[in-house]
Structures are given as structure tokens and as C-alpha cells.
Amino acid sequence: MAYTNLRVHLIWSTKDRKPLIADEFQEDLYAYIGGILRKRKHVLLAAGGIADHIHLLVGMHPTQTIADCVRDLKSNSSVWVHEHFPKLKMFQWQTKYGAFSVSESSVDSVMAYIANQKEHHKKLTFQEEFLAILRKHGIQFDPRYVFE
């Protein structure tokens, strides 16, 4: 038996950062994503974002990799959007994503950060926010390729 506490802050945007995540279905999208996670033995601890991107705080089960989890979330949630909102046939997620480990002592502050996305983005764009998070976590990157 493994004893784990794997908390991961996941972030990604819509393709080309198009503002396609409407307030009218945002909470339903998060609930659907929570269901995908539960089926894979993960736990959705927090979800938030604005029209062009999403933040998730996930309690990961050790049997699935982060890459596989994100792939499943993106593909299944895209299908859900297309089925429930036919006018959004152009809806896609960007290819890249960010995944950041979160210590148990930081869970509350990350949850508050995710809950405060609408207010936060009155001051910063998604691009500015994402680059700041990469820097905060000491991740090396070439800004020319971050948002492909």
C-alpha cells in the first residue's frame, strides 16, 4: 500500500486564448471535470478561471500520471462542450499546460487563489499570470514557445 498526498495545481487555456468558457456553463464544466477525476480516483479540490483559461487543484491518485490525467481531462471536457453547446464547435484547449506541485501547507492559499480568478484577472492577463507562475516555481522557459 502506498501513502501519498499528491496535490497538483493544473493550468491551461483555450486554444489561442479565445474567451469561450462562458459564465453560463463554467460551473457545469467544472462539475464535469470533477466527475472525470473521480472516475480515475483523483479528487477535484478547487476549480476556477475565466473565459480563456482554467485552474484546477487536484488531489492525484498515484496510479495515473499527470500527463495522462490532463490528456483525459482535456479530451473528455472538449467533447462535453461540443455535445452540450453546439455553437462552440470551435472550442479546443491549448496543447500545453502547467502542472505545479502544492504542499499541504499551501493548499488553502492555492484554493483561495483559484477562487479569486475573476478579480485577479482585472489586473493581469492569462499570459502574464502564467509566466509569473513559471518564474515562481523556478521553471526555465523560452517565452517564444510557452503559448503555442
Tens of pLDDT, residue by residue, the chain (148 residues): 789 999 999 999 999 999 999 999 999 999 999 999 999 999 999 999 999 999 999 999 999 999 999 999 999 999 999 999 999 999 999 999 999 999 999 999 999 999 999 998 999 999 999 999 999 999 999 988 898 7
pTM: 0.95
142 in a domain, yes or no? no
CATH label of the domain that carries residue 22: 3.30.70.1290
- Total domains in the chain come to 1
148 in a domain, yes or no? no
93 in a domain, yes or no? yes
| Nearby residues of 36 by Cβ (< 8 Å), 6 or more positions away | 72, 73, 76, 77
1 in a domain, yes or no? no
Domain of residue 50 covers 6-136
122 in a domain, yes or no? yes
Which segments of 3-101 does DSSP mark as H helices, in order?
A: 23-39, 66-84
- Where is 133: in which H helix or E strand? helix 126-136
145 in a domain, yes or no? no
108 in a domain, yes or no? yes
62 in a domain, yes or no? yes
- Residue 36 and residue 76 in contact, taking contact as beta carbons nearer than 8 Å: yes
